[in-house]
Amino acid sequence: MIDISKKFPTLRTAVAFARVKMLPETVLKIFNNDLPKRDPLTVAKYAGIQAAKKTSELIPACHQVPLDYIDIKIEIIPESSTAEIFATVKAEYKTGIEMEALTAASVAALTLFDMLKPVDNSIVINEIKLIEKTGGINSIPSSADSYEAAVVVVSDSTAAGNREDKSGKAAFRFLTDLGFKTKEVLIVSDDKKEISDIVFSLVDNVDLIVTTGGTGLGQRDNSCEVLKEIIEKNAIGIAEWIRAYGRLKTPRAILSNSIAGVRGKTLIIGLPGSVAGALESLTALKPTLSHALDMINGKGH
């Protein structure tokens, strides 16, 4: 199985399709319910529903997904002597649910085959495919090619050369991979004036400023106090989401005072100083960073 522990739930949907070919006289028997195994469409429908819920037991690498909605529609097409099966599933989860939809459509088709085979030896399941899927952070446009970002590491020990910077480099790589034109990582101590001076020097010269470190409860954790004075418009939801996502990884995330907001046309975000905390925060923000910058720059929704 693929590790999805770093993902967060989004609304997922998937629709799968299957087609069953039969004899014209079999179609007539279905309409008249003149079959040894009665109500084939109803039985196939509920078999598909049950199959969707059992997907992870049938396909080894599939995750167990708590499905919120399953619907099976079966339409008989007399002109082509076929049954068309549409399986729709929905879930708020961390991974896609296309396999659940495909399994539902497949088992509904197989059940229809089983229900009709006493009267028809020519039945063929001639098509099974995924026709639609939505959801997941990868489905949300997140290109930041037109924006420039700066990373500031706030740490006494790193500024003094006693500790190697890791969180700043990690944030730099993340933003670069996301498409930002990212400036070289800057390092300052936890001194309030140093933090203020470096952030003010970047405001209006870059679109995004990300700081790492100084968000805790320690005596020298000054980043958030300084950023609070610099920010003109709070982005409370960003800070709330960083903590909400972080607490799923560690209860210590609630001790972070991470702050976010806008000054001029620059988005400023204060992140935790650990590599894990910085990367988890950026992962949580990945689907919305470029959209936030679009809004700041008047591009609307």
213 Rama class: left (phi>0) / alpha (psi -120 to 50) / beta: left
**Helices and strands, counts by H and E, the chain:** 11, 11
Report how far Cα 123 is from the mean position of its chain's Cα atoms: 40
Give the whole-angstrom CA distance, residue 270 versus residue 261.
Answer: 9
Annotated catalytic residues are 114
Q: Residue count of the chain, please give it.
A: 301
How distant, in Å, are the alpha carbons of 6, 224, 245, 272, 285 from that of 252?
17, 17, 12, 11, 19
Give the whole-angstrom CA distance, residue 29 versus residue 240.
Answer: 60
Amino acid at position 285, single letter: L
Give the whole-angstrom CA distance, residue 139 versus residue 118.
Answer: 45
Q: Which of 219, 292, 224, 288 is nearest to 259 (CA)?
A: 224
Q: Kindly give, in sequence order, each residue whose CB lies less than 8 Å from that of residue 300, ignoring residues fewer than 6 positions away.
A: 294
Q: Which of 97, 90, 9 is nearest to 56 (CA)?
A: 97
